Structure 1
Amino acid sequence: MSAVDTAQPEESRLRILKAAAEIAAERGYEGTTISRICERSGLPASSLYWFFTDKDDLLAEVVRHSFREWNAEQPAWEPFPADISVGDGLRRLLHHSSRSLPSAPEFLRIGHMLALERRETEPVGRALFLQVREEVADALARWFAASIDADLIARQPALPHRLATLIIALTDGLFLAYQIADLWDPDTFVDLIVTVVETAIAEAEADL
């Protein structure tokens, strides 16, 4: 009987995902092999292929699974009452999410790795990571559109998406800086983002 027959299927699947994430973080895309994943997970190749078509399919699921777990723990991007400024509302929302970055969620670590590598055939995981980024950017943009003065949005409809892109770019920078040099001060980072966003909004208002 295979490992899938004798163990709980979901437990086996999670063991494979965990092993693949660990090896990808250690060895990169090319170094993440089926044999290494099987050795690390303690499951035979037949179990891996029971759940996943190939390595590409497996790493894409690592990205998807990690993002779902991370996203479920984040605060909802819902508009705050009118008496709370955009800056204060943004600071409250980022307070929690910024602190989750040092733990290096697999979707960020593997997603950045795949995004930076150019291949003749684009890995499914890379496309999925870029899709996740777009979904996060859209959620941020919707929050800004609902939180910023309606007249300003009417005159500068691209502003919410520009601000969302800015936050994602700054977050990418923080994540990479932490991985490279262990630079980490979440409160300072959030204050920096809020200051940049408030300045961008003030400049947009001044252009009217």
Structure 2
Amino acid sequence: MVWRDVGFTSRPPENERAILDAALSLAVTAGYEGTTMSEVARVSGLPNGSIYWHFENKEKLFAELIEFCFETWKKDHAGPTNRDLLRRSIAGSAGASADPENRPEAFWILALMFALDRRLEDNLARKKYLEVRKEMFEHMVRRVEPQIPAEVLADDPEFGRKMVVLGRALTDGFYIAASAGDDIDFAEFADLSATAVEALISRRAEQLSKDENS
């Protein structure tokens, strides 16, 4: 998150942070529709005028909130191995998203709803989420590809991206499961998912080795 420069007429960063914290707290319990600018003012302890001084409307507030949560997400998804990354995505993120107290994670269920709700097609916050979602994908590709055998990537340069697509599909599914209140041991399924992905990579490498030696 890059805060605006502070000057005589600038927006104080501590107030902006208080507004974002208040919006995040409300969003994970009330959702997008249920979060109002007046409630954000009340929870943040700032006057209504200050809220609109920082953010022209709710769409812009939520768009910046998505950026704010994205910075936390990038720090959290920096595990050294693909297994760590998938465990963090499924057990740490999707699993934890069911807990409103874990606000940065719980917020991503709401953000995912932006992508699914076609009624919000022109909504600025939805557009921002879709942009951030693309950045998330590329971030994961950069983390995953170095751990895939070079011969596999040489044979299929898109293989790393395919593994990220698979991992994202798994994670999105577990987000929905958490939101629906399914009784799931997310840590167990994170390990099962990681094992399956590792098996796919190993099998591809073994097949290429057999083909080369045949």
| TM > 0.5 fold call | yes
| C-alpha separation in 2, matches of 1:112 and 1:182 | 18
User: How has the CA–CA distance of structure 1 residues 142 and 18 changed in structure 2, closer, same or farther, with 3 Å as cutoff?
Assistant: closer
| C-alpha separation in 2, matches of 1:192 and 1:38 | 44
Greater Cα offset, 110-119 or 155-164: 110-119
Q: Does 1:99 align with 2:92?
A: yes
Partner of 1:129: 129
Q: Does 1:181 align with 2:181?
A: yes
Partner of 1:144: 144
User: What residue identity is the alignment partner of 1:155?
Assistant: D
Q: Does 1:29 align with 2:32?
A: yes
Q: 2:19 is matched with which residue: 16, 19, 37?
A: 16
| Unmatched tracts of structure 2, length 5 or more | 1-7, 97-101
User: How has the CA–CA distance of structure 1 residues 144 and 70 changed in structure 2, closer, same or farther, with 3 Å as cutoff?
Assistant: closer
**CA-CA distance at 1:164 after TM superposition:** 0.4
- Count of aligned positions: 191
Partner of 2:171: 171
Q: Secondary structure at the match of 2:119?
A: coil
RMSD: 2.7
**CA-CA distance at 1:162 after TM superposition:** 0.9
Q: TM-score, normalised by structure 2?
A: 0.75
Q: 1:43 is matched with which residue: 42, 46, 51?
A: 46
Q: TM-score, normalised by structure 1?
A: 0.77
User: What residue identity is the alignment partner of 1:132?
Assistant: V
| C-alpha separation in 1, matches of 2:161 and 2:167 | 10
**CA-CA distance at 1:15 after TM superposition:** 2.2
**CA-CA distance at 1:161 after TM superposition:** 0.7
Q: Secondary structure at the match of 1:119?
A: helix
**CA-CA distance at 1:40 after TM superposition:** 2.6
**CA-CA distance at 1:56 after TM superposition:** 0.5
